[in-house]
Amino acid sequence: MKRAHDKPHETAFTFLEGDLDVVGTLTYGELHDRARELAGRLRETLAPGDRVLLLHPAGLDYIVTFFGCLYAGVIAVPLYVPQRRTAPTVEAIARDCAAGAVLTTEAGLRRTSLFAPDSRVASLPWLATDRPASGSSPLPEPDVSPETIAYLQYTSGSTSTPKGVIIDHRNAVAQCAEAAVSWQVDGTSRWVSWLPHFHDYGQIGSVLLPVYAGCHCVLMAPTTFVRRPVRWLQAISRYHGTHTGAPNFAYDLCVDATTEEQRAGLDLSSLITAGNGAEPVQYDTHRRFSRTFTPHGLKPEALCPSYGLAEATLKVTNKAPGAETAWGTFGSITVGAPVTELPADDAVRPLVSCGTTAPDTRIAVVEPETRRRLPDGHAGEVWVNGPSVARGYWGRPEESEETFRARAEGDDGDTGTYLRTGDLGFLHHGELYLCGRLKDLVIIDGVNHYPQDIERTAEDSDPAVRRGRSAAFSVREDGRESLVVVAECAPRAESRAGEVAVAIRDEVWRRHEIGASVVVTGAGGVPVTTSGKIRRSQCRADLLEDRLTALARLDAGPAGTAGAASARPAPAPAASAADALRLGCRTYIEGWVLERVLEGRGEVDARLPLSAHGVTSRNMLELHYGLEEWSGLTVPPEWMWETESIDALAGMVAERLARPAARTAGEGENR
């Protein structure tokens, strides 16, 4: 409201599509007026405190809707446009928060068909927030306090145990104030972002912080970035962006998926802060990105490793802008023990410092079992205290008490309580270094996955998988995290262990959209505690030190391993123009998968889905863009995930290519 009063005609948000075409802008005055009008419509059917699901695509309509919820006093639950594979997650979240309505766009109303008639989501009223105003009276100024809940930030892609972090106005304002100081953001800044609005990094960095600081934010959809990563850098260059941020994988992608010709016209000299967070920050990524783009104006000190989590609203620590990034090589990390710094050696993976906290935020490193505080230089669980730490999880008082209100041994009431992050780290020369995840989260391409959910999926994939005897964890290979699932096979089914491995891999992809390497063992192969809990860290160590006795092994890549389909027959000669189109499309897809995913190893079987070849979410988006470039068509993204085989996908694209209307731009099919 203050921004609308002080600078009503200044641009708050610009949204880009395609090759950085401007498809919409919002001034501060327009944002204020549209949000108040929507708030009036919401209050006709909703009461303050009701929870509403926001199922919007990336764009300005989401921003108007989110602020409309704040004005109306209803609690926003930022999500995404559901697809078939994500509809169960949306349903689980709707039930968890007892949602009272669904807010989406006119186009999003068609997504009701994804939900069963007796589901909670289908039973809710759906409102298209991009429809023209219908005469509702704008609300008066909203009545909120620091303790008023602003929104629920759901932390997981889980379909079984989604948890909503309660973010109140005090948390959100404190986080924005910390970030504005730590990242040097003010009214003259220009923020450029492709981050999804339903993640904490995108919600704060791309929606709330720009309004708090009163600056201009240039946005694009995540798919716009992933299709052509250079667009992110081009937007920074064109709009003289001063601030941006992304997970570690995005910086790798910018190096790997841009050409010298594309980089030639870039000018990144305006960047003050380029945050790297939301997944572990890698030294090699930092070094490669810096070396690649310093010739194009990037100041290496602008790169800003950070650490945070949704339970702390977003950021906990970051490197100070303008300072050099600290890093070090360390010996083995043991909880409770001192950490030894070693001379730099190619055989030892360097750790990157994630910087320091803001003045009002404190970190304690604690031995997690005894809750004993540890001195600097000792590894333990990272605990956080500060005004940005949320009050707890929605509807989960016991988990909230355990996670958000921890006390270290010997602390009295004056020192306050702490958030237990579950992350393993240590303080070195006053800066935080992270070296593992005590809570066993699997983070792939910046997305969090709970191992318990993946293990449950493995156990559901085939009756031969023993219940409560599977372990999911990540390992680092070739510079990136990858998923491994180890599962025990019932003795009666050991002869078909290869089939079991294929079933596990395919079901993990279908439910979680991650390519997994699978190891099937006999009974007793997965280590457990005396009380029957899975010892994931021990299982990882057994795998890496070759102590697991495997009945079958299946890589995340080639599908021809461990009982998958045998080598495909040679394609029959094309019998018609339609067959020729299908064969050409299939050949393109097969060649892409062979080169970009399998790296020349193994075979591509067109009778199997893309997922069976280890194609990840990021691969899917890259291939989707490649198919559109190859065909000259707009290919529906859901085809990439939901077709049953490569051959079927090729047939669908070929059928659209064969239509005369598809050849004309007037039909909206061409790019």
Q: Over the stretch 48-97, which tens digit does the pLDDT of each residue have?
A: 999 999 999 999 999 999 999 999 999 999 999 998 878 888 999 999 99
Instruction: Spell out the residues 6+ positions from residue 259 whose beta carbon is closer than 8 angstroms to its own.
Output: none
Residues 18 and 65 in one domain: yes
Segments in 207-322 forming alpha helices (H): 209-213, 222-227, 230-238, 248-256, 260-263, 283-293
Main-chain phi, psi angles of 526, to 5 degrees: -95, 120
Query: Regarding predicted confidence, which is higher, 153 or 532?
Result: 153
CA distance 167 to 154: 10
Give the end of a domain, one of 554, 589, 620.
Answer: 554
Question: Which CATH number covers residue 646?
Answer: 1.10.1200.10
Triad 507, 511, 512: Cα angle to 5°:
110
Main-chain phi, psi angles of 222, to 5 degrees: -55, -35
* Full-model pTM: 0.80
pLDDT at residue 561 greater than cutoff 50:
no
Residues 360 and 338 in one domain: yes
User: Per-residue pLDDT tens for 576-612?
Assistant: 566 778 888 888 898 888 888 777 767 888 888 887 7
User: In 478-598, where do the E strands start and end?
Assistant: 480-489, 516-521, 550-554
The first and second tokens of residue 127, run together, are 């409102």
Residues 431 and 348 in one domain: yes
Output the CA–CA distances (angstroms, integers) from residue 213 to 191, 227, 269, 456, 568, in the order listed.
Answer: 11, 30, 22, 44, 58
134 burial (CB, 10 Å; 0-12 / 13-18 / 19+) is: exposed
CA distance 201 to 443: 15
Output the CA–CA distances (angstroms, integers) from residue 417 to 65, 176, 203, 376, in the order listed.
Answer: 34, 22, 26, 20
Torsional sign, CA 230, 231, 236, 238: positive
Residue 373 lies in a domain: yes
Lowest mean pLDDT among 11-25, 31-45, 515-529: 515-529
Residues 351 and 469 in one domain: no
CA distance 207 to 203: 5
Name the 3-class secondary structure at 59: coil
Question: Which CATH number covers residue 508?
Answer: 3.30.300.30
Question: Which CATH number covers residue 388?
Answer: 2.30.38.10
Mean pLDDT of 102-106: 97
The first and second tokens of residue 395, run together, are 């509807």
Instruction: Spell out the residues 6+ positions from residue 644 whose beta carbon is closer than 8 angstroms to its own.
Output: 609
pLDDT at residue 223, rounded to an integer: 86
User: Per-residue pLDDT tens for 164-204?
Assistant: 999 999 999 999 999 999 999 999 999 999 999 999 999 99
Residue 348 lies in a domain: yes
pLDDT at residue 531, rounded to an integer: 53
Region for 614 from its dihedrals, namely left if φ exceeds 0, alpha if ψ lies in -120 to 50, beta otherwise: left
Mean pLDDT of 9-29: 96
Give 3-state DSSP helix, strand, coil % of the chain, rounded to 5.
35, 25, 40
Residues 133 and 65 in one domain: yes
User: Per-residue pLDDT tens for 535-546?
Assistant: 888 898 889 888
Residue 38 lies in a domain: yes
Give the end of a domain, one of 437, 464, 492.
Answer: 437
Residues 603 and 639 in one domain: yes
Residues 523 and 488 in one domain: yes
The first and second tokens of residue 657, run together, are 């290519």
Tell me the pLDDT of the chain averaged across its residues. Answer: 86
Residues 230 and 367 in one domain: no
pLDDT at residue 564, rounded to an integer: 36
Name the 3-class secondary structure at 550: strand
Residue 300 lies in a domain: no
Torsional sign, CA 457, 458, 462, 463: negative
The first and second tokens of residue 415, run together, are 């020192």
pLDDT at residue 530, rounded to an integer: 52
Triad 501, 505, 508: Cα angle to 5°:
135
Lowest mean pLDDT among 208-217, 284-293, 433-442, 654-663: 654-663
Residue 426 lies in a domain: yes
Residues 98 and 205 in one domain: yes
User: Per-residue pLDDT tens for 110-162?
Assistant: 999 999 999 999 999 999 999 877 666 666 667 789 999 999 999 864 444 78
Question: Which CATH number covers residue 46?
Answer: 3.40.50.12780
pLDDT tier for residue 288 given thresholds of 50, 70 and 90: very high
Residues 431 and 459 in one domain: no
Structure-token match 């594979």, residue found: 85
Residue 427 lies in a domain: yes
Residues 428 and 543 in one domain: no
Structure-token match 């509403």, residue found: 52
As for how many domains the chain has, the answer is: 4
As a residue count, the chain comes to 671
Residue 408 lies in a domain: yes
Residue numbers of the domain that contains 507: 442-554
Would strands 419-428 and 431-437 be described as parallel, antiparallel, or unpaired?
antiparallel
Residue 564 lies in a domain: no
pLDDT at residue 272, rounded to an integer: 97
Q: Are the C-beta atoms of 329 and 350 separated by less than 8 Å?
A: yes
Edge-first strand order for the sheet with 243-246 is: 21-27, 11-17, 216-220, 190-193, 243-246, 273-276, 303-308, 315-318, 356-357
The first and second tokens of residue 217, run together, are 């934010």
pLDDT at residue 138, rounded to an integer: 63
Residues 52 and 111 in one domain: yes
135 burial (CB, 10 Å; 0-12 / 13-18 / 19+) is: exposed
User: Per-residue pLDDT tens for 468-480?
Assistant: 889 999 988 776 7
Residues 291-326: b if buried by 16+ CB within 10 A, e if exposed: ebbeeeebbebbbbbbbbbbbbbbbbbbbebeeebb
CB atoms < 10 A from the CB of 348, how many?
A: 13
CA distance 360 to 159: 36
Give the end of a domain, one of 437, 470, 496.
Answer: 437
CA distance 405 to 291: 43
pLDDT at residue 569, rounded to an integer: 35
